[in-house]
């Protein structure tokens, strides 16, 4: 395993409502350079809240109440993410760690074309870039994610769901981050498009070398694409290990239940199928 790029220790996050909700409880994870770390668990277990905490995107009433998050920059400098504020925090986001949000294919501004939305990333974070450089980089990014650069002139409603998702991935890659957090990046896409997006993410990871935290409730998918997997339950990470180990010998009962909740493609059909078929035949 390579050197660490992001370390989170004993992170706790609460929603300050009445009564307070402990969304993340003493979560500890380490992400290594170039790896894919899968974060799995049922809806509401705290996966997205933890991701927002790692990238300092929490908004009230969410509050990180404990723990530390350290980014280990490629330059050798350690950055205390929790202590960042103002310009330092703005520079850190998207430059060091970027995020593809849940349902992000609907996050594009509907009244701006793709060109304008990509250019805005550079005018905000790379103000010294000239227009021709922004145009060239935008075209390069679309090529990277498998979208024809002619689509720079398109508005979001002119793109398919899969193409919008690819544009969002291109935006997340714009500043060459060392870490990309992907929160359910294939939600609401059909299976064929999902597989295309996953293949693209794997190809880009191999080519560009960034590390990925991939968040989903789809444990079989994570076993297929991840190097390591962390399992969350009720805000806590209850098991973590190599993807092969999680698949072959899960230790926590919840991990075993997650794995058993997905039907096998082999073996006999279940009794409920046979019963249903018999009932249908008798009708």
pLDDT, tens digit, 9 for 90 and up, residues 147-185:
999 999 999 999 998 899 999 999 999 999 999 999 988
Q: In which element (H, E) is residue 21 found? A: strand 21-32
Q: What is the spatial distance between Cα 283 and Cα 177, in angstroms, rounded to a whole number?
A: 60
Q: What is the spatial distance between Cα 151 and Cα 153, in angstroms, rounded to a whole number?
A: 5
Report cis status (omega within 30 of 0) of the bond before 281: no
Q: What is the mean pLDDT of residues 125-138?
A: 96
pTM: 0.89
Q: Taken in order 74, 78, 82, 87, is the CA torsion positive or negative?
A: negative
* Beta carbons of 42 and 257 less than 8 angstroms apart: no
Q: How confident is the model at residue 266 (pLDDT cuts 50, 70, 90)?
A: low
Proportion of the chain above pLDDT 90, given as a percent: 75
Rg (CA), the chain: 21
The edge-to-edge listing of strands for the beta sheet with 78-80 is 21-32, 4-15, 62-72, 78-80
Q: How confident is the model at residue 73 (pLDDT cuts 50, 70, 90)?
A: very high
For residue 125, with 0-12 CB atoms within 10 Å meaning exposed, 13-18 middle and 19 or more buried, which class applies?
A: middle
Q: How confident is the model at residue 281 (pLDDT cuts 50, 70, 90)?
A: very low
* Beta carbons of 40 and 219 less than 8 angstroms apart: yes
* Beta carbons of 16 and 48 less than 8 angstroms apart: no
How crowded is residue 176: how many other Cβ atoms within 10 Å of its Cβ?
A: 11
Q: What is the spatial distance between Cα 24 and Cα 37, in angstroms, rounded to a whole number?
A: 18
Alpha-helix runs per DSSP H in the chain? 47-54, 86-92, 114-125, 131-144, 161-173, 191-208, 219-225, 243-248, 253-260, 271-282
Domain 4-104+179-264 has CATH 3.40.50.80: no
Q: Where are the domains of the chain?
A: 4-104+179-264
Phi, psi of 6 (to 5 degrees): -145, 130
Residue-wise pLDDT for 27-36, tens only, equals: 999 999 999 9
* Beta carbons of 33 and 211 less than 8 angstroms apart: yes
With a cut of 70, say whether residue 270 has pLDDT above it. no
Average confidence score pLDDT of the chain: 89
Which contacts qualify for 137-143: CB closer than 8 Å, 24 or more apart? 137/174, 138/114, 141/170, 141/171, 141/173, 141/174, 142/114, 142/166, 142/167, 142/170
């Amino acid at each position: 395993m390579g050197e660490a790029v992001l370390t989170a220790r004993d992170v706790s996050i609460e929603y300050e409502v009445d009564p307070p909700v402990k969304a993340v409880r003493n979560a500890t994870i380490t992400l290594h350079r170039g790896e894919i770390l899968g974060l799995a668990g049922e809806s509401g277990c705290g996966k997205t809240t933890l991701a927002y905490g790692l990238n300092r995107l929490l908004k009230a009433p969410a509050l990180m109440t404990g723990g530390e998050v350290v980014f280990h920059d490629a330059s050798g400098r350690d950055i205390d993410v929790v202590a960042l504020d103002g310009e330092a925090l703005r520079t850190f986001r998207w430059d060091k760690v970027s995020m593809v949000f849940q349902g992000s294919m609907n996050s594009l501004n509907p009244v701006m074309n793709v060109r304008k939305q990509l250019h805005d990333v550079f005018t905000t974070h790379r103000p010294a870039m000239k227009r021709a450089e922004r145009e060239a980089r935008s075209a390069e990014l679309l090529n990277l994610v498998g979208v024809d650069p002619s689509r720079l002139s398109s508005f979001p409603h002119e793109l398919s769901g899969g193409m919008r998702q690819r544009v969002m991935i291109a935006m997340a890659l714009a500043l060459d981050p060392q870490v990309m957090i992907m929160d359910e990046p294939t939600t609401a896409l059909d299976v064929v498009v999902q597989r295309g997006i996953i293949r693209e993410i794997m190809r880009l990871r191999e080519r560009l070398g960034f590390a990925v935290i991939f968040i989903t409730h789809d444990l079989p998918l994570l076993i297929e694409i991840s190097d390591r997997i962390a399992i969350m339950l009720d805000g806590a990470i209850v098991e973590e290990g190599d993807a092969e180990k999680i698949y072959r010998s899960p230790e926590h009962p919840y991990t075993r239940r997650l794995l058993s909740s997905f039907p096998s493609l082999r073996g006999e059909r279940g009794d409920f199928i046979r019963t249903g078929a018999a009932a249908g035949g008798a009708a």
